[in-house]
């Protein structure tokens, strides 16, 4: 009888240890999948991002808003707010300051529910041109692979990357053969939000 009781106890212990591991291997097993929300304070907000803004215990000030192409949103009580180009922490502080005359000491949170502004574009003579989500560090070679690789008619050593920062246009050159041979690796730059890779 004691042996049976000991066996049941051991099985319970194994289950207690195994269940969290199974949940970790299968993110869909939990509704609070960390990848669904971005709360990193230094993330820079961009047009198209979907923000979840909430003031604790105040349903009227709990809204899901989409950042417009001009970088603005509209929020109750305070109206138009420029959010594009601001980090989450900066926006949180600004919203708290602007709402505080109406709601003293607001307990406010800002989360990014959809990262729709984190896009790069690969166009021209690749097998699958289009836009791709930049959800991790991606260099030029990786972006070309995401686009299905070069097609046989591509001018592989005349690839260009176009970048716009602060109303300034920048162009980077990329020679495919040289980089894949392990030469000129500095050309294989890390891509940023909005970069356009053109394969002629």
pLDDT band at 127 (very low <50, low <70, confident <90, very high): very high
Residue 84 covered by a domain: yes
Residues 123 and 109 in one domain: no
The 10s digit of each residue's pLDDT in 4-58 is 443 333 333 333 333 333 333 333 333 333 334 455 677 889 999 999 999 998 9
Residues 97, 167 within the same domain? no
Are both 125 and 101 inside the same structural domain?
no
H or E segment to which residue 3 belongs: helix 2-25
* Last residue in a domain, options 96, 114, 132: 114
Question: pTM to 2 decimals?
Answer: 0.65
Tell me if 96 is assigned to some domain.
yes
70-107 per-position pLDDT tens digit: 999 999 999 999 999 999 999 999 999 999 999 999 99
Residue span of the structural domain in which 191 resides: 119-199
Question: Taking residues 167-180, what's their average pLDDT?
Answer: 94
Same structural domain, 73 and 109: yes
136 shares a domain with 190? yes
CA dihedral of 48, 54, 58, 60, whole degrees rounded to 10 = 0
**Residue 156 and residue 144: Cα distance in Å, rounded?**
11
Domain boundary among 114, 139, 173: 114
Task: Indicate whether 126 and 98 sit together in one domain.
Answer: no
């Amino acid at each position: 009888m004691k042996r049976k009781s000991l066996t049941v106890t051991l099985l319970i212990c194994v289950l207690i240890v195994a269940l969290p591991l199974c949940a970790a291997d299968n993110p869909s097993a939990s509704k609070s999948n960390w990848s669904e929300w971005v709360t990193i304070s230094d993330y820079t907000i961009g047009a198209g991002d979907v923000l979840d803004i909430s003031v604790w215990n105040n349903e009227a000030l709990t809204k899901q808003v989409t950042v417009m192409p001009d970088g603005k949103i509209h929020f109750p009580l305070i109206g138009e707010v420029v959010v594009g180009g601001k980090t989450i922490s900066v926006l949180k502080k600004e919203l708290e300051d602007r709402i505080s005359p109406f709601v003293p000491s607001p307990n406010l949170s800002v989360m990014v529910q959809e990262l729709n502004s984190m896009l790069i574009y690969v166009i021209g003579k690749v097998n699958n041109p289009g836009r791709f989500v930049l959800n991790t560090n991606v260099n030029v070679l990786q972006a070309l692979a995401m686009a299905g690789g070069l097609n046989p008619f591509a001018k592989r050593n005349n690839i260009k990357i176009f970048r716009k920062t602060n109303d300034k246009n920048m162009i980077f050159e990329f020679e495919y053969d040289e980089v894949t041979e392990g030469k000129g690796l500095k050309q294989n730059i890390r891509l940023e939000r909005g970069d356009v890779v053109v394969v002629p």
